[in-house]
Structure 1
Amino acid sequence: MNGDWRSELDAWLAPFVVALRNKTRGRMCPAYIAGLIGPGDRKSVQPMAARDGDVSYDKLHHFIGSGVWDEAPLEMALLAEADRQVGANDAWLIIDDTALPKKGRHSVGVAPQYASALGKNANCQTLVSLTLASGEVPVMVGLRLFLPESWTSDMARLERAGVPEDFRHYRTKPEIALAEIDRVHAAGVRFGCVLADAGYGLSAPFRQGLSKRGLTWAVGIPFKQKVYPADVAMVFPVAGRGRPRKNAIPNITSVSAQAMLETVPWRKVSWRRGTKGQLSARFAAVRVKVADGPPQRIHDMGAQHLPGEEVWLIGEHRSTGERKYYLTNLPVDTPIKQLAGAIKARWICEQAHQQLKEELGLDHFEGRSWKGLHRHALMSMIAFAFLQSLRLKQAKGGEKESPGRHRSRACRRSGKPSLTASPSRPIGHVRTADVVLWKLLGKICQSSANLTREDGTSFFEIAQKANVKSVTTVFPLAQANVALERLRSGAVVGAAVLVPSNYAKA
């Protein structure tokens, strides 16, 4: 990583360094973040200190693991920067969680639990995440550890891991998310709608908590979530004998979300353009009242939840045959295309999770403490925000949107990938030593001219010098031998190794 790039990082970090209020910490913070962003496969303290050379392992380890300093000012600085980058009245605040696989049982919060990234139960830590996003530009603003009951019931483990007193009681993921939303909202961060998947949407207290806060929301739900028609009425049943009934009951029973949409017309809706054209699916939407009110005995069916808030029930029928269901309190006159766009905007947080892990080492922390894990996560989020600032800086016209959102016409016709950075890889940051194979096919995609390395040279200029015409395949460094074999066999006629500071002809 060249000096100009590091100088730009140091200048950008000035508000964060000021928030630390200490000269030594003011040196450690930029060094740690530069270590996360810079080259190297491992982003734990020891290899980062070794690559830096100017900062010792002991000092960097003390800063992140046991140093006495308050993270709150840095968190506030991150929120302010995120709001500056993507905050707006139509921005999304996306709630999700991400798993960090771990061995053993001593790292704070580690336990056998569902890991969404793996699609199965695994020994891992789970972080509840908050992502502020506008268009296709996400900025992660919150990562808070979920403690399973096996931890909150074991005071000795909590003590050893240094879990603060305020966080030692059991809290569900939706409860953690609501507390984090309050923190973000109190900081004045602008957003328009809260999004979450069914892991949070199935929680009635979570949905009700969002509504009580006056927030607009759109969440996934299980297909069996009970709902009533929007015109359900509360009536007093006629008592055959005995005293008159004191409590009103619905004049119709609740049904599952799946059953409610069986008689509703479905139609194809496109919500945005992706790299392969318009993204579309079949959708259906109807106004309902959610069965999440107080429980009440209804006839001989036992206790049933009474009708609650009136909202939209939305169904999505994907091309794979899979069906998904959602609830949102968007206004009653919201068009179905806008409803579809809202519920599908959540995908961007998954790309943010991927980049935080693959490029910034979110899951590389080797300590066991609460403090160390959350500080490492905070540094990862700050590093991610810096990369997004580079992306926005280089976007034409200062638009808060990815220049790589659409491939050029030449790329779409040829079916070849564009060199322009995708949302998971911001402009100005190329993963260390990716191997790109090129072959002579006529025209190079002109959108590649928007992507440059740190010295200002565009990929288009590099490609011209190397007589390169279009991209065919991207190989990770671990598969460089495969790339070279293809080169020697004549399957491709040009190859280059891409690193942040130099592009060498192979």
Structure 2
Amino acid sequence: MTTDQDAVAVGATIAGGVWSECFRAAMAAMAAVAACFPRRESRLLARDMAEAMLTGLETRNCWTLAEALGHASPSRLQHFLSRGVWDHDAVRDRTATWAAGELADDDAVLIVDETGDEKSSTDAVGAARQYSGALGGIGLCQVAVHLTYASARGHAPIDRALYLGADWAADEERRLLTHVPDDVDFATKPELAAAMLTRARQLGLRARWFAGDEVYGGRELRRSARRLGFDYALSVRADHQVTTPGGRFTATTLAARLPRRAWMRMLTGHGLKGDRHYDWTWTDIQSDDAPDTEDDGTSVLVVRRHRFTGELSFYRCYSTRPVTLAGLIHIICTRWQVEEDFQLAKGVTGLDQGQTTCWNSWMRWTLISILATAVLAVTRARTATTTMAVGLIPVSARELLTILRATTLPPLRHDIGHVLHWSAWRRRHQAIAQACHRRWNNVTAAATT
């Protein structure tokens, strides 16, 4: 026990130093581009806000963050998010370049997926009744497409794009109220994904693969990925049509035609309760997404079968170089790391807690959340080999955060004078809001009588 505690103590010391170094490096990367933060105050506020995201707050919004940072009111943070003069697109690009550079791998995977954040009204930018897997169905929410960079060293979110439904994007009044830029038009989720892949390639991020679920398995996005030089492993629906030398079939029909000996049981991943195994097979198919007349790569359909239920999952894959089934399975399973990033960003850095209503505020809140998550991911990657001890599993992101909160991250401000000031501020603000709601209700009641 003492040996384990000594190893953890050494690891905590190393992790604290690595965190400070990573955070300084991330902020220095942004400071190198003057357009990111023209004013020193904005840069320092971004740093403070990112650190405050990682503190042990129950909820994260401008009120709670401002109180934790020792501000007298949330006004500075609200101005920073909505009207502050800084280029969040430039910060996004610098964050992506820095994080991907720290985790760089020539065989890295860019993973795209969407997640929804439940909302209480349609006042928030992009909020509408729409499907979200995070909600488990249709509900009032914002939906955003995210991009994660995953390599053998680790994974981190690097980009996001807010999805505006066709009706929402065409509503000029709502666009005006939420300050949506004029050049932002309706785009499907695959089109948003294509834009992020294009941006990643323009930034020079080292990555070979592109992975995503069924939403992103369409021909146009696959063609765009190949045009950008990405190989891909994308989930497709059971009725997805593929062409083989023997004819054109749905994925389900083609899987049923494969002989029993074509299936093999392979290790798919490691869980807390043991290794996971599935039955797998693959077969050659003809490409339908070549960006030009030449097509020297290999297109295959990979099929996964659950050992007990027999449920089938289908993956359309393309590689410019020879690849094994085990290699494709690894890429397919890597896709789930974006879900880990969602859980971490929502549970730790407040990705879905911003209570923002306007375009700039949403862009900047999610960006600060991504920045904090990326720095945590890079810190974990850097300490993965230096903090391991015999008999202990590698430190998880949440475990690492627990250590950082105790050793490195600035403490929350809890002195009695500050607490009483914020109690008075909240109650005064709530009293004003309550009075406004009552007056408005009286006006609407009178208008209906």
Partner of 1:248: none
Partner of 1:348: 337
For the 8 Å contact 1:271–1:338, the answer to whether it is kept is no
Counterpart AA for 1:207: R
For the 8 Å contact 1:421–1:427, the answer to whether it is kept is yes
State the shift of 1:340 in Å.
Answer: 1.3
1:259 and 2:233 are equivalent in the alignment? no
1:207 and 2:222 are equivalent in the alignment? yes
State the shift of 1:56 in Å.
Answer: 4.3
For the 8 Å contact 2:214–2:237, the answer to whether it is kept is yes
State the shift of 1:72 in Å.
Answer: 2.4
Partner of 1:175: 191
User: Any idea what the Cα deviations from partners look like across 1:216-260, whole Å, max 9, x if unmatched?
Assistant: 11100001011111x36xxxxxxxxxxxxxxxxxxx4x2101111
| 1:187–1:284 CA distance, 2 compared to 1 (3 A) | same
| 1:290–1:419 CA distance, 2 compared to 1 (3 A) | closer
| 1:396–1:9 CA distance, 2 compared to 1 (3 A) | closer
SS of the counterpart of 1:329?
A: strand
Selected match of 1:289 from 278, 282, 286: 286
User: Any idea what the Cα deviations from partners look like across 1:446-473, whole Å, max 9, x if unmatched?
Assistant: xxxxx787549xxxxxxxxxxxxxxxxx
1:218 and 2:218 are equivalent in the alignment? no
Partner of 1:227: 242
SS of the counterpart of 1:286?
A: strand
For the 8 Å contact 1:94–1:196, the answer to whether it is kept is yes
State the shift of 1:322 in Å.
Answer: 2.1
Partner Cα distance (1:310, 1:74) in 2: 37
Partner of 1:94: 111
Selected match of 1:76 from 84, 90, 93: 93
Partner Cα distance (2:276, 2:153) in 1: 14
Partner of 1:193: 209
State the shift of 1:77 in Å.
Answer: 1.6
SS of the counterpart of 1:109?
A: coil
1:380 and 2:369 are equivalent in the alignment? yes
State the shift of 1:427 in Å.
Answer: 5.1
Higher normalized helix content (fraction of residues): 2
Count of residues in correspondence between the two structures: 380
Selected match of 2:142 from 125, 130, 146: 125
Selected match of 1:37 from 54, 66, 74: 54
SS of the counterpart of 1:428?
A: helix
Partner Cα distance (1:106, 1:67) in 2: 21
State the shift of 1:8 in Å.
Answer: 5.6
| 1:219–1:9 CA distance, 2 compared to 1 (3 A) | closer
State the shift of 1:271 in Å.
Answer: 3.8
Partner Cα distance (1:182, 1:262) in 2: 37
Counterpart AA for 1:130: L
State the shift of 1:9 in Å.
Answer: 7.0
Partner of 2:302: 314
1:66 and 2:66 are equivalent in the alignment? no
Higher RCO (C-alpha 8 Å, min separation 6): 2
Deviates more, 1:203-212 or 1:359-368: 203-212
User: Any idea what the Cα deviations from partners look like across 1:136-194, whole Å, max 9, x if unmatched?
Assistant: 72110011100001211211111111111121x21100001101111111011111100
Could you tell me the TM-score, scaled by structure 2's length? 0.78
| 1:453–1:373 CA distance, 2 compared to 1 (3 A) | closer
Identity of aligned residues (%): 24
Partner of 1:14: 28
Counterpart AA for 1:227: V
Partner Cα distance (1:192, 1:156) in 2: 42
For the 8 Å contact 2:153–2:381, the answer to whether it is kept is no
User: Any idea what the Cα deviations from partners look like across 1:16-43, whole Å, max 9, x if unmatched?
Assistant: 3454131220221112111211121111
Deviates more, 1:135-144 or 1:192-201: 135-144
Partner Cα distance (2:398, 2:95) in 1: 18
Selected match of 1:390 from 376, 379, 391: 379
Partner Cα distance (2:155, 2:250) in 1: 34
- Higher Rg: 1
SS of the counterpart of 2:314?
A: strand
Partner of 1:244: none
| 1:222–1:15 CA distance, 2 compared to 1 (3 A) | same
Counterpart AA for 2:379: L
Selected match of 1:428 from 400, 406, 410: 400
For the 8 Å contact 2:146–2:159, the answer to whether it is kept is yes
Partner Cα distance (1:45, 1:204) in 2: 42
| 1:183–1:331 CA distance, 2 compared to 1 (3 A) | closer
Could you tell me the TM-score, scaled by structure 1's length? 0.70
